[in-house]
Structure 1
Amino acid sequence: MKNRILAPTLAILILGTTSLGLHAHGTKEHTPRQHVVKEQTGWGIAGEPEQANRTLEVVMTDDMRFTPSAVQVSEGETVRIVVRNAGQIMHELVIGDREALQEHAELMLRFPDMEHDEPYMAHVPPGETAEIVWTFNRAGEFEFACLLPGHYQAGMLASVRVESQQVAGTAPNAPRSMQ
């Protein structure tokens, strides 16, 4: 009887996480995306590499920190984020709002072998780099975080402030200095 109830519940959990755009983490090596699906999120949309007007380097370390720990962009700006893992263990960078990141971090604790392949996520093995091109087309306060089990809970997150165009006073994709 327990198996009859458990199996459908597990199937719903698995299908539910898949519908959120989450996939298995596992140990397989991630390959560069051949085609990026552009889906609007509350924190932006995948950008085109040729439209990026600024490159932001983000370094991840085993002390569960990102450098820089805070970034600022203008609404509409497309940024190439080069993510470098300077540590000895796997890390990732996931862009999102606080609620989505907390929810995903909780799922990662329950299902540590989850894998995802969304354009706002980069999985970076030790000593390697990855890249995200993202258009921040929503003003607000967002974050990027490492959602591997224990990393987020240890404070591995950084703030992303996206200023409204009216506040920033700049046109989208206008050249700006690196922050």
Structure 2
Amino acid sequence: MKQLWKCFALLLPFLVLLAACGNTGGTSNSSGPQTINVNLSEFKIDASLTTFTPGKTYHFAITNRGQTVHEFMIMPKAEGNMSGMAMGNMDKMALAAVDNISPGETKMLDYTFPASTANSQPEFACYLPGHYEAGMKQEAHITS
């Protein structure tokens, strides 16, 4: 038994050191995507964060809390009312988009703002007919 305690006493400092090396203070996920909760409703977009850093990946969890289908688009800037423009053309303009989010549904989008967006003001928007005009937009900011 004495031998066992001596072994344990000799190993204890190494075990403590090993445990300390493995502890990252909760920062092990700091390099992973930051989750942004986005709630869609009639007729509003509410994102938990609206200031972003270029080169950092963000994980958008987009939930439709409304009663009708919505979409979520990240436009490079406020485009205003684009009624009459073909959806395919809007999609080409968008930095990212998630289509057809049904009531109660949550869809995910991982997106990294490119360096070219630094110091810009993109806009989150829903361009389904009449939604943008009813207020489904939210301004965002990209820092440098």
Scaled by the length of structure 1, the TM-score of the pair is 0.53
Could you tell me which residue of structure 2 aligns to residue 160 of structure 1? Answer: 140
Shift of 1:52: 4.5
**Count of residues in Structure 1 that have an aligned counterpart in Structure 2:** 109
Match of 1:97 in 2: 76
Q: Which residue of 2 is the match for residue 78 of structure 1?
A: 57
Change (3 A) 1:69 1:143: farther
Indicate yes or no: 2:121 matched with 1:141: yes
Q: Give yes or no for the alignment of 1:126 onto 2:103.
A: yes
Q: Match of 1:66?
A: 45
Amino acid at match of 1:75: P
Which structure: larger Rg?
A: 2
Query: Alpha carbon RMSD of aligned pairs, Å?
Result: 2.9
Task: Sort the Cα spacing of 1:120 and 1:85 in 2 relative to 1 into closer, same or farther, 3 A.
Answer: same
Query: Which amino acid letter does the alignment assign opposite residue 87 of structure 1?
Result: G
1:69 Cα deviation from its structure 2 partner? 7.7
Q: Which 4+ residue blocks in structure 1 deviate beyond 4 angstroms?
A: 114-119
Please, which runs of 5 or more residues in structure 2 have no aligned partner?
Answer: 1-30
- Offset, 1:102: 3.4
Residues 106, 79 of structure 1: alpha-carbon distance in 2 compared, 3 angstrom cutoff: same
- Structure 1 gaps of 5+ residues are 1-50, 165-179
Contact kept, 8 Å, 2:73 with 2:126, in 1: the verdict is yes
**Matched AA of 1:66:** I
Structure 1: distance between partners of 2:40 and 2:91 = 19
Which amino acid in the other structure matches residue 138 of structure 2? Answer: A
1:41-94 alpha-carbon deviations (Å, 9 max, x no partner)? xxxxxxxxxx752010100012x1111386011121110111100011001110
C-alpha displacement at 1:147, in angstroms?
0.3
1:82-121 Cα deviation digits (max 9, x unpaired): 110001100111001235x437x3235xx58x99697711
The change in CA–CA distance for 1:59 and 1:93 in structure 2 (over 3 A counts) is same
